[in-house]
Amino acid sequence: MAVCLRTSRAIINSLQSKVGLLSMISQSSCWSSLTHHREPPFSSLKAQNVRDPDANFCDKATLYSSRRFESVKTEKQFNSPDDVDHYQQILDFPGGKVAFTSEMRFISESPVERAHCYRVLDNDGQLILCSKFKKVSEEMAIKMYSDMVTLQTMDAFFYEAQRQGRISFYATTIGEEAINIASAAALTIDDLVFPQYREPGVLLWRGFTLKEFANQCFGNKADNGKGRQMPIHYGSNKHNYFTVAATIATQLPHAVGAAYSLKMDRRNACVITYFGDGGTSEGDFHAALNLAAVREVPVIFFCRNNGWAISTPTTDQFRSDGVVVKGRGYGIRSIRVDGNDALAIYSSVHAAREMAISEQRPILIEALTYRVGHHSTSDDSTKYRPVDEIEWWRSARDPVARFRKWIESNGWWCSEAESELRNSVKTQLLQAIQEAEKIEKSPLAELFTDVYDVPPSNLSEQEKLLRETIRRHPQDYPQDVPI
């Protein structure tokens, strides 16, 4: 009888193996596959290699497979051919194989250790030992620093112009200059940019002039938007920089759609979209990440986590370990970087761009930084943040000063060059502001153009009503707008 049973089992096992219903794998190999890749990408500085993206991230075939499974079935996984009574069950489910367990175990709401933050330069501008980063040339480094100084100076001038009543509104990028310039430096002009409202440095890097910035802030006839937008809502077709929208996170789904278009056209380019930590509280953020992952589009989601959504701290926005961990929930490769380290920003965006295009996948970058300035000229951040905290970030963590120390240590910069640069930028800005202020405003009629070929009756009625209102109350409207 025993011989018959053994023979029957052998025959059955042979037949099942041939038709592919069962896989003979050991329990140890099964659990090895389940525990593999537990640590998040870039969780250890020692494991990083920005120049070799495949060395930094998990095996794409294991975690990011786009295969669709045609059936749902249970497979028996035997410890060995001779042990058929004890097995581990595996569910072949859409998305990959899932192991069953007899232990009731909930996934923890938070990791044992927070996701690590990639950096290259320490606070004194010195290279961290064994740092792995994308090398930059002397020419590139000097341009990066020059644009960071220009952006910093531009913020100071336009902020004061608003305080003097010469422009209506302004928002600075103080403390976030490295995010602006270094990320832009890692892209190409063919890459599309969907900004929030704190990334004018990306446009500056691409060649938008100080005069063009001034024209937009003053809303004159030379402004690309014909004075329809409030200040700092820049846009430029020539520079592939989509016009800023004040509504939070609405640019994210748009960016995914644009990236899908690049994918269909087989373009050697990607999309980058910027947003703050507050943007992750919007539904558009979650919809965009999910769509980008499912459609596998070349888009970089760049989150400036500066700790505050106007006066709302991140502790009132989410309980997760920041934003970087949200990427894994949607199947998106992610990294956390030091937002005040220009080399870390440049290296991570450069690597993200390569992966986004070559592998046709979305990437999420969370940059930890601090908004040193007020949210805007309509805000007083000292009402909800300690002044000494602001000053500490302004002095000890200034990204511009940190990068300057690095280029000086390389012999690429000196005090004379610094003085010359700052004087030149100040002169150009004063001239740009004075000229923009003298240019007349766009005529009132421009408010109603460039949307419809033939304006509908309700729009024509609105224009008529506006003109009548201005004629009745001229003292309530600016005198320099041609009627």
The confidence score (pLDDT) of residue 287 equals 98
pLDDT in 10s for each residue of the chain, 483 residues:
444 444 455 544 554 444 443 343 333 333 333 333 334 433 333 334 434 444 443 343 333 334 333 433 434 444 444 444 445 689 999 888 999 988 999 988 888 899 999 999 999 999 999 999 999 999 999 999 999 999 999 999 999 999 999 999 999 999 999 999 999 999 999 999 999 999 999 999 999 999 999 999 999 999 999 999 999 999 999 999 999 999 999 999 999 999 999 999 999 999 999 999 999 999 999 999 999 999 999 999 999 999 999 999 999 999 999 999 999 999 999 999 999 999 999 999 999 999 999 999 999 999 999 999 999 999 999 999 999 999 999 999 999 999 999 999 999 999 999 999 999 999 999 999 999 999 999 999 999 999 999 999 999 999 999 999 999 999 999 888 888
| pLDDT for the residue 112 | 84
Same domain, 377 and 253: yes
Task: Verify that 434 and 468 share a domain, yes or no.
Answer: no
Q: Are residue 466 and residue 421 in the same domain, yes or no?
A: no
Q: Residue 101: what are its φ and ψ, rounded to 5°?
A: -145, 150
Domain assignment of residue 336, yes or no: yes
> 172 with 264, same domain?
yes
* Secondary structure of residue 442 in the 3-state scheme: coil
Burial grade of 465 (CB within 10 A; 0-12, 13-18, 19 or more): exposed
In a domain, 479, yes or no: no
Identify whether residues 323 and 469 lie together within a single domain.
Answer: no
How many domains does the chain fold into?
Answer: 2
Length of the chain: 483
Helix runs in 200-323, H state only: 200-205, 210-218, 251-264, 283-295
Residue 191 within any structural domain of the chain: yes
User: How many other C-beta atoms lie within 10 A of the C-beta of residue 73?
Assistant: 11
Instruction: With respect to residue 417, please indicate whether it lies within any of the assigned structural domains.
Output: yes
40 within domain boundaries: no
Note whether 365 and 460 are same-domain residues: no
Residues 319 and 451 placed together within one structural domain of the fold: no
Taking residue 358's Cβ as centre, other Cβ atoms within 10 Å add up to: 11
Among 272, 287, 332, 281, residue whose Cα is nearest residue 305: 281
What does the H/E/C string look like for 92-157? EECCEEEECCCCCCCCCCCCCCCCCCECCECCCCCECCCCCCCCCCHHHHHHHHHHHHHHHHHHHH
Active-site residue set: 371, 375, 384
Cα distances (Å, whole numbers) of residue 344 to 48, 303, 337, 361: 11, 15, 7, 21
Q: Are residues 406 and 458 in the same domain?
A: no
Domain co-membership, 248 together with 372? yes
Could you give the C-alpha distances from 415 to 77, 152, 412, 418, in angstroms and in order? 69, 18, 11, 5
Domain region containing 404: 138-438
Backbone angles phi, psi at 171, to 5 degrees: -135, 130
